[in-house]
Amino acid sequence: MKELKLILTVLLLLSVTTIADDYVRPQPRKTLHLPWHSKSSSYPQQVHISFAGDKHMRVTWITDDTSAPSVVEYGTLPGKYGSVAEGETTSYSYLFYSSGKIHHTVIGPLEPNSVYFYRCGGEGPEFELKTPPSQFPITFAVAGDLGQTGWTKSTLDHIDRCKYDVNLIPGDLSYADYIQHRWDSFGRLVQPLASARPWMVTQGNHEVEHIPLIKDGFISYNSRWKMPFEESGSSSNLYYSFEVAGAHIIMLGSYADYDEYSEQYTWLKTDLSKVDRKRTPWLLVLFHVPWYNSNTAHQGEGGDMMQTMEPLLYAANVDLVFAGHVHAYERSKRVYNGRLDPCGAVHITIGDGGNKEGLAHKYITPQPKWSDFREASFGHGELKIVNSTHAFWSWHRNDDDEPVKSDDIWINSLVSSGCVDQKRTEIP
């Protein structure tokens, strides 16, 4: 037994040292305890905002009181609310759990690049949000597989310190994993950031809370994290798109049907055909399960979706694809159909937000040609789109609680590389 342990330790050390020479990777951290000190039952909690169509923002919050009003008062000066909007509500039950009242209220039209002050349900604290700019430059924070551990907190602190306009999450938010009150604690954990900048999310496997014959998956996710699917012509909260400052961003569902006869496939084709590269020179796609992944974790899992949908994305000249799922970071070169292609997308796996399951350390060797950088550490990414031709991508790992930049690269848009004109613009 002792010998076996020794051999395993040596093997582990060897594999660790071959990947990242001098960097000692930290251990997973414990799940945070985030108790709710009940104020009044109508006190707004778990406030977050997301885009809701052109110039509009959806404010979401929860109250214990089921008769609390769904109004948002807002304005550009603190304490002075010249505008008021009324929204809709939902709630759900899950086995022995009953959610509070979940309020979704759309505010707007809002001016770009402006600070607004707002209050939910006519009481409680004042929140402050900033709308994104209407033109470049714009900065996106990107982090997947967040969870609610000490590492999540560290990732969130680093995201908070970078000057970002929009947060993009390619799936796996709360890691509630059927324990519903963990969705509430996650909502409280992210509120300071998510009430201030739009958080745009798509689903991961940890959002699927399916109990055969009793509960459909996604009831918690869909009730709490309503995204602008109606605004983008989709019939499901699991896939949608939005536009901001010269970028068209498509959120796909790795856990919704994606075959050629599926609604998602049809919707994606329609959405891609509407993209106008003069209005939005940058085209980004996010989903949970990566198509290009040289980690042994979840190896090949994205294959089916890739087979049906990659040709659509390629024909449409998608610049960048973000995925999560694998708890590590990897960036590809421009690639299509497994081969380097100057008109293919850059694929980035960033499932290292800080979840409780820890990191995925093992990689396939030799490193595939398309893989440009890979490392198993917790962290977040920042995409600064400078103008229609240039974007700066950087990945920051959580090193001793300081955001250390470990990978960065200038990315040229496919519009500027001539790919958009060269390739047939028709979607197959």
Ligand X SMILES: *[C@@H]1O[C@H](CO)[C@@H](O)[C@H](O)[C@H]1NC(C)=O
Minimum distance from residue 307 beta carbon to ligand X (Å):
35
**Segment 373-402, which members bind ligand X (CB under 6 A)?**
386-387, 389-390
170 versus 281: smaller Cβ distance to ligand X: 281
Q: What is the Cα–Cα distance from 77 to 250, expressed in whole angstroms?
A: 33
Minimum distance from residue 391 beta carbon to ligand X (Å):
9
Q: Sort 373 into a burial class: Cβ within 10 Å, 0-12 / 13-18 / 19+.
A: middle
Minimum distance from residue 389 beta carbon to ligand X (Å):
5
**Cα distances (angstroms) measured from residue 21 to each of 15, 302, 390, 401, 403:** 10, 30, 32, 20, 19
> Which DSSP category does 132 fall into?
P
Binding mask 335-374 toward ligand X (x if CB under 6 A, else -) reads ----------------------------------------
Q: Do residues 60 and 72 make contact, with C-beta atoms less than 8 angstroms apart?
A: no
Contacts with ligand X: how many residues (CB under 6 A)?
Answer: 4
257 versus 421: smaller Cβ distance to ligand X: 421
Q: Do residues 415 and 190 make contact, with C-beta atoms less than 8 angstroms apart?
A: no
83 versus 387: smaller Cβ distance to ligand X: 387
- 412 binds ligand X per the rule CB under 6 A: no
63 versus 139: smaller Cβ distance to ligand X: 139
Strand partners, 119: 73
228 versus 281: smaller Cβ distance to ligand X: 281
**Segment 165-194, which members bind ligand X (CB under 6 A)?**
none
Q: Which candidate, 249, 236, 237, 309, places its Cα nearest to that of 282?
A: 249
Work out the angle between the directed axes of helices 181-194 and 150-161 (0-180°, nearest 10).
20
Q: Which candidate, 405, 358, 332, places its Cα nearest to that of 145?
A: 358
Minimum distance from residue 415 beta carbon to ligand X (Å):
11
Minimum distance from residue 418 beta carbon to ligand X (Å):
15
- Max alpha carbon distance in the chain (Å)? 73
Which residues participate in catalysis according to the annotation? 298
- Strand, coil or helix: what is 293? coil
- Which residues in this chain contact ligand X in the complex, by CB under 6 A? 386-387, 389-390
